[in-house]
């Protein structure tokens, strides 16, 4: 968060899931998926249909509830291959997750019709698509349930959205947040802004306060570590770290309400600047990353009714350049941590995407110079 966060008009030209008439804020997009599954009655031994191209946070909620994930292929546009599902989907399938990848709204009408024909609940994954329209409806308007992630578009340390479109479904009752966590969430927002020099006039003061707090914590931690080493004995090694995205979900946290600070930032900051800047940055990257044999824009057109989350770039030989970009601090990611057991299916674009598609940031707070630096690294590492 910075002072620029509060510039521009309050409302954007595109609808937002925050405008949904029957929504609830959650602690994260992952928690929203878990709550969505609970809303439609998914439980132990049920089957949930998931795309082969996914983030692990899309799978963990399914397994946390004791359900089984069955992965379906997607086509080159990112849409579910309904012909495959028609033949291969298990009869006990209870729900299907369909995703608006990269913040570019997918057509959902065919998915809606297929789910209705088979008695399957449609969960519309809008984690990348906070704003936009899918056909005649706003994003989030097609699923029995829709979910979104606040942190991908707003300067909040946590937050998601659960939205219901069926009148027979009810929003869950979430547990209140203790005051100490309310204060911490507000402090984290300020610290994040100051650490990136976004709060001119307050950056030094805020960083100093957090540096002092860090010194105090490290001193206490050193004392605790000495005791732990004594109990461990010589030659002991800590267990391997577990990737939080690949583990089951903390159920109490998933059922906790969102902190007031994160809710305020996500619902009250002006939205027009977010939508306009993301579209402008996507178009800038689109023009700059044409004409190479080593890479190409995955989606060469920006839909009019969209506010992109990232710019997807297909790279012919992404390694080892991708790791170098990460090492240099270039804002890029890749969904290469597929859940174990994802099948290789004929005609599927999902598994190849997980290796070849890099997600370049087009965040509203990037400068033109930062965008040019991203382009320069892409051309250096993956050109000509």
pLDDT in tens, 153-181: 999 999 999 999 999 999 999 999 999 99
Q: Per the structure block, which two tokens stand in for 228?
A: 């732990």
How far is the CA of 340 from the CAs of 67, 246, 336, in angstroms?
15, 10, 11
Query: What pLDDT shows up at residue 72?
Result: 98
Q: Residue 355 — very low, low, confident or very high, per pLDDT cuts 50/70/90?
A: very high
Query: What pLDDT shows up at residue 197?
Result: 84
99 close to 106: Cβ distance less than 8 angstroms: yes
The span from the CA of 78 to the CA of 209, in Å, is: 46
pLDDT exceeds cutoff 60 at 104:
yes
Residue 326, SS3? Answer: helix
The reported pTM is 0.90
Domain 3-164 annotated CATH 1.10.3720.10: no
272-382 CATH choice from 3.30.565.10, 3.30.930.10, 1.10.760.10, 3.90.1150.10: 3.90.1150.10
The span from the CA of 244 to the CA of 2, in Å, is: 29
Tell which wins on pLDDT, 211 or 48.
48
Extended strands (E) in the chain: 23-26, 47-51, 68-72, 93-99, 121-125, 133-134, 137-138, 145-149, 160-164, 295-297, 310-315, 332-333, 357-361
- Mean per-residue pLDDT of the chain: 91
Q: Residue 227 — very low, low, confident or very high, per pLDDT cuts 50/70/90?
A: very low
Q: Residue 196 — very low, low, confident or very high, per pLDDT cuts 50/70/90?
A: confident
Domain boundaries along the sequence of the chain = 3-164, 272-382
pLDDT exceeds cutoff 60 at 224:
no
Percentage, residues of the chain above pLDDT 90: 78
How far is the CA of 284 from the CAs of 277, 302, 311, 326, 372, in angstroms?
10, 11, 10, 21, 9
């Amino acid at each position: 968060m910075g002072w620029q966060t509060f510039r521009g008009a309050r409302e954007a030209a595109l609808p937002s899931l925050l405008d949904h008439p029957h929504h609830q804020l959650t602690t994260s997009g992952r928690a929203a998926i878990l709550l969505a599954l609970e809303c439609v009655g998914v439980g132990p031994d049920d089957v949930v249909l998931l795309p082969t191209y996914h983030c692990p946070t899309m799978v963990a909620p399914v397994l946390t509830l004791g359900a089984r994930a069955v992965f379906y292929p997607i086509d080159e546009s990112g849409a579910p291959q309904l012909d495959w599902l028609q033949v291969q989907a298990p009869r006990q399938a209870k729900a299907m997750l369909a995703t608006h990848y990269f913040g570019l709204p997918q057509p959902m009408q065919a998915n809606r019709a297929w789910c209705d024909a088979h008695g399957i609940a449609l969960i519309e994954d809008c984690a990348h698509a906070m704003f936009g329209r899918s056909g005649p409806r706003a994003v989030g308007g097609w699923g029995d349930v829709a979910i979104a992630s606040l942190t991908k578009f707003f300067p909040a340390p946590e937050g998601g959205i659960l939205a219901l479109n069926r009148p027979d479904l009810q929003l869950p009752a979430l547990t209140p947040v203790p005051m100490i966590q309310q204060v911490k969430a507000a402090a984290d927002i300020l610290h994040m802004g100051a650490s990136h020099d976004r709060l001119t006039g307050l950056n030094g003061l805020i960083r100093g306060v957090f540096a002092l707090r860090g010194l105090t914590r490290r001193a206490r931690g050193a004392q605790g570590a000495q005791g732990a080493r004594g109990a461990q004995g010589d030659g002991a090694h800590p267990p391997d770290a577990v990737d939080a995205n690949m583990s089951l979900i903390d159920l109490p946290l998933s059922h906790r309400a969102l902190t007031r600070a994160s809710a305020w930032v996500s619902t009250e900051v002006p939205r027009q600047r977010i939508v306009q800047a993301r579209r402008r940055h996507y178009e800038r990257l689109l023009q700059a990353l044409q004409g190479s044999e080593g890479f190409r824009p995955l989606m060469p057109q920006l839909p009019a009714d969209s506010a992109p989350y990232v710019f997807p770039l297909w790279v012919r030989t992404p390694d080892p350049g991708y790791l170098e970009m990460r090492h240099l601090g270039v804002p890029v990611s890749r969904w290469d941590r597929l859940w174990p057991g994802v099948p290789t299916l004929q005609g599927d674009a999902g598994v190849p995407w997980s290796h070849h598609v890099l997600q370049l940031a087009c965040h509203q707070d990037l400068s033109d110079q930062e965008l040019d630096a991203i382009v320069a690294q892409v051309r250096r590492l993956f050109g000509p």
